[in-house]
Structure 1
Amino acid sequence: MASPVLSRELLKELRRIVGKGNVLTEAGDLLPFESDALTAYRATPGAVVFVHSTQEIQQVVALLHGDGIPFVPRGAGTGLSGGALADGAVIIELSRLNRILWIDDENRRARVQPGVINAQLNEALAPYGLMYAPDPASETVSTLGGNVAENAGGPHCLKYGVTTNHILAASVVMPDGSLLELPGPGSPGYDLLGLFVGSEGTLGICSEIEVRLVPLPAAVETVLAHFDEIEDAGRAVSAIIAAGIVPAALEMIDQNTIKVVEASTFAAGFPTDVAASLIVELDGPRHGLAHQATEVETLLKKNGARQVARAANE
């Protein structure tokens, strides 16, 4: 498919909508937008447009739609799926829509713009004793809009679920520039919000997102185990789940990964002669959590762990 031609008139109108300095067309300016974090795949956009409001998104989308110009929404560009690539198309850049609109701590809800970063939201929620649970590895730089587009998860999705489990409503700019309000669970009719989350920008662009919040855990216990056989580590995972224990996070690291990490500047002191290491994080009320951690330690040892240790602090 041939790349679309962006006329002078189109670019002039885009600059009128968002401001002259918010439309990039020079090759050097477009270079950072050739890929997301999956840098193996690259495509040069025809232009990058920075938007600052729902109205600007609507006007830009309506203009591009009317001229038959394809467009791709983009947040922080931290995704690993190549979802933000735009070969000759216009990137609609949302990172400047970065306000937390309100926090309702009593009903455990918040409404944010799509450019809000995960970690910044949780920093704002901490004084209320609340958190937004989905925690992708890039949470210090990834945006909520990108999370919604990719249905992002993270280490704690085992207990708390992924993005779709925490989205209550959204304002979505449709491909023709119209605005659609998507209500959340409990609303009559089809679950359009569930359909939208994870659609990777193909169904519309979210301009506001309402998220569900959960209480910060009162306590955290972390257990580390090393195994000589990776199969034993797998059996230990099954044993923990079969015992009715739901860890906040449960991660396995194989020997190849351990060797790479220990040879890097991120070396953590893991033994490199083990087949696998298992990290089990538990959270919840202080009462009973230490006992649950002891139960996990017992299950790890029963299933062949060479060494088991509990973190002294969080």
Structure 2
Amino acid sequence: MSIDWPVLERELRRLLPPRAVVSARQELLAYDCDGLTLHRHQPPLVVLPETTAQVSAVLALCHREGVPFVARGSGTGLSGGAVAETEALVVATSRMRSVLRVDLPNRQVVVQPGVINSWVSRAVAGDGFYYAPDPSSQVACSIGGNVAENSGGVHCLKYGVTSNHVLALEVVLHDGTVTTLGGDLEEMPELDLRGVFIGSEGTLGVATAITLRLLRAPQSVAVLLADFTSMEAAGEAVRLVTAAGVLPAGMEMMDRLTIAAVDDYFGHDEYPRDAAAVLLIELDGQQREVAAATELATALCRQAGARRVREAWDADERALLWKGRKSAISALGRRFPSYYLQDGVVPRSALPRVLAAIETLSERFELPVANVFHAGDGNLHPLILYRAAEPGIGERVQQLGAEILRLCVEAGGSITGEHGVGSDKRCYLAWMFTPDDLATMQLVRRAFDPQGRANPGKIFPTPRTCAESARRVAVLKEEGVSLPEAAVVF
């Protein structure tokens, strides 16, 4: 079915406020990729609704006219999930930026999806509360995008990811129907459709109001910066600290390449430039508890081979130490205009082995790889650095990325921790799940969106998008296996 985009544009302009429909080619360029710049697809139209009613009207029109749609937040995602790679309407929630309700007695706040992550804590900090999930892009990423990807961040080790802090969702389904998933209680006596929606990457509908759980700010916080002569020694420190029963709020590691980039970025050596790795450990809680944990963690880091352990108790000094970690990707971007950021997970015990294997792959493919990651929960973020002008570089970069993810799976891990599958990693999903598993997941998707018009083509491998999937389907058909329709539709 072909879509008459000029006619659809006229209908959308009748439904939405002035300047809420983007159709000029030069303006559409802003929506042709997300944080993954390796793949670009310019959408035919973008709409910028401001209310739930407007989103509902847009999706009802899409349903009536058979138009696919892609929900998009701030566009900081790193898996191509917010990109319209086929002809589809982009529904950008960046103008839905209101904090709708603050309920401190019940430790809740209700926000629209375009609210920036860091704004939530800023809105309640004066009353002694904060919102725990804090992706590195928290000054730019939106809560709606965090919900779509089930984002984590520095503090996910102790406090969990987005799904642990979302109580309820107001959602517009594929046909414009508005419904609520979850409720004001942390545990509701019903099917957890809220949990199903979080991390579904826009394939089940569009969230338009999100109820978040707030936490009390801790009484005391300390940050340790330990530097090591090898990545293996830093990995051993992670193992010792967690094995001792210390539960840091966050535990982050950076390698030599990242350290040098960050120090150059700030124009001074905030981190020891001669270190092979640095480990940032944040400890929070009651004052005596933090003092004891700091003493123990320092001793364990030294036992693992730390040369120096720096303590930061003052809020400004702590923020300075974290600033380098939060700015690591930007700092590396100054050295290499193009990068491909992967997102695999491995058991903590496998960290030294996997990091050594990534270094070997880096040498084999002749591409530098910077490692900066959530060491406490084994969530790796290797950055493959390259120069886009080099002939054939895109294919080589993607091959290296695939090899790194295969390493993670073979170590007992996952192809993604918090960046989602999107279009970038859908061909690798079959490494972790059987055809029956994938078909069941797609049946859940069809229950929400029978025609598959919400973010079409994302997450699941199909014969159209993945050669491996096409071969598997062909072999099964030759063997006379009857495949569920869902296994090949999306």
* TM-score, with structure 1 as normaliser: 0.95
Q: Is the 8 A contact 1:44 1:86 kept in 2?
A: yes
Q: Is the 8 A contact 2:221 2:313 kept in 1?
A: no
Residues 224-247 of structure 1: CA distance to partner in whole angstroms, max 9, x if unpaired?
Answer: 111112212111111111111111
Paired residue for 1:179? Answer: 178
Compute the displacement of 1:312 (Å): 5.1
Q: Any idea what SS the aligned residue of 1:116 has?
A: coil
Paired residue for 1:307? Answer: 308
Paired residue for 2:135? Answer: 136
Structure 1 residues 288 and 188: CA distance shift in structure 2, 3 A = closer
Q: Distance in 1 between matches of 2:219 and 2:164?
A: 22
Structure 1 residues 41 and 268: CA distance shift in structure 2, 3 A = farther
Q: Any idea what SS the aligned residue of 1:207 has?
A: strand
Q: Any idea what SS the aligned residue of 2:70 has?
A: strand
Paired residue for 2:163? Answer: 164
Paired residue for 2:26? Answer: 28
Compute the displacement of 1:257 (Å): 1.8
Paired residue for 2:124? Answer: 125
Q: Distance in 2 between matches of 1:268 and 1:14?
A: 53
Compute the displacement of 1:266 (Å): 5.9
Q: Superposition RMSD on alpha carbons, in Å?
A: 1.6
Q: What letter is aligned with 1:246?
A: L
Q: Distance in 2 between matches of 1:21 and 1:263?
A: 41
Q: What letter is aligned with 2:258?
A: T
Q: Any idea what SS the aligned residue of 1:78 has?
A: coil
Q: Is the 8 A contact 1:6 1:46 kept in 2?
A: no
Q: Is the 8 A contact 2:171 2:179 kept in 1?
A: yes
Q: Distance in 2 between matches of 1:275 and 1:129?
A: 38
Q: Distance in 2 between matches of 1:7 and 1:300?
A: 60
Q: Distance in 1 between matches of 2:4 and 2:216?
A: 49
The structure 1 residue matched to 2:16, chosen from 15, 18, 24, is 18
Residues 139-170 of structure 1: CA distance to partner in whole angstroms, max 9, x if unpaired?
Answer: 11111111100101101110111000001011
Q: Distance in 1 between matches of 2:267 and 2:106?
A: 40
Q: Any idea what SS the aligned residue of 2:247 has?
A: coil
Compute the displacement of 1:290 (Å): 1.9
2:75 aligned with 1:77, yes or no? Answer: yes
Structure 1 residues 59 and 220: CA distance shift in structure 2, 3 A = same
Compute the displacement of 1:270 (Å): 2.4
Q: Distance in 2 between matches of 1:270 and 1:37?
A: 26
My pick for the range that moved more, 202-211 or 288-297, is 288-297
Q: What letter is aligned with 1:220?
A: V
Q: Decide which structure has greater strand share.
A: 1
Compute the displacement of 1:310 (Å): 1.1
Q: Distance in 2 between matches of 1:281 and 1:8?
A: 54
Q: What letter is aligned with 1:264?
A: Y
Q: Distance in 2 between matches of 1:52 and 1:266?
A: 41
Q: Any idea what SS the aligned residue of 1:61 has?
A: helix
Q: What letter is aligned with 1:276?
A: A
Paired residue for 2:208? Answer: 207
2:218 aligned with 1:217, yes or no? Answer: yes
Q: Any idea what SS the aligned residue of 2:274 has?
A: coil
Residues 48-70 of structure 1: CA distance to partner in whole angstroms, max 9, x if unpaired?
Answer: 10101111101100101211111
Q: Any idea what SS the aligned residue of 2:253 has?
A: strand
Paired residue for 2:229? Answer: 228
Q: Any idea what SS the aligned residue of 1:235 has?
A: helix
Paired residue for 1:146? Answer: 145
Q: Distance in 1 between matches of 2:313 and 2:152?
A: 27
My pick for the range that moved more, 38-47 or 256-265, is 256-265
2:253 aligned with 1:252, yes or no? Answer: yes
Q: Distance in 2 between matches of 1:204 and 1:266?
A: 45
My pick for the range that moved more, 255-264 or 160-169, is 255-264
Compute the displacement of 1:17 (Å): 0.6
Q: What letter is aligned with 2:193?
A: L
Q: Distance in 2 between matches of 1:17 and 1:153?
A: 36
Q: Which runs of 5+ in 2 are unaligned?
A: 316-490
Q: What letter is aligned with 1:170?
A: L
Matches within 5 A, 1:262-281: 262-265=263-266, 267-281=268-282
Residues 60-108 of structure 1: CA distance to partner in whole angstroms, max 9, x if unpaired?
Answer: 0010121111110111111111111013311111111111111111111
Q: Is the 8 A contact 2:55 2:176 kept in 1?
A: yes
Count of aligned pairs: 312
Q: Any idea what SS the aligned residue of 2:81 has?
A: coil
Q: Is the 8 A contact 1:98 1:115 kept in 2?
A: yes
Q: Any idea what SS the aligned residue of 2:307 has?
A: strand
Q: Distance in 2 between matches of 1:269 and 1:168?
A: 39
Q: Any idea what SS the aligned residue of 1:305 has?
A: coil
Structure 1 residues 268 and 16: CA distance shift in structure 2, 3 A = farther
Q: Distance in 1 between matches of 2:95 and 2:290?
A: 41
Q: Any idea what SS the aligned residue of 1:171 has?
A: strand
Compute the displacement of 1:262 (Å): 3.0
Q: Distance in 2 between matches of 1:252 and 1:7?
A: 48
Paired residue for 2:332? Answer: none
Structure 1 residues 47 and 267: CA distance shift in structure 2, 3 A = farther
Q: What letter is aligned with 1:133?
A: A
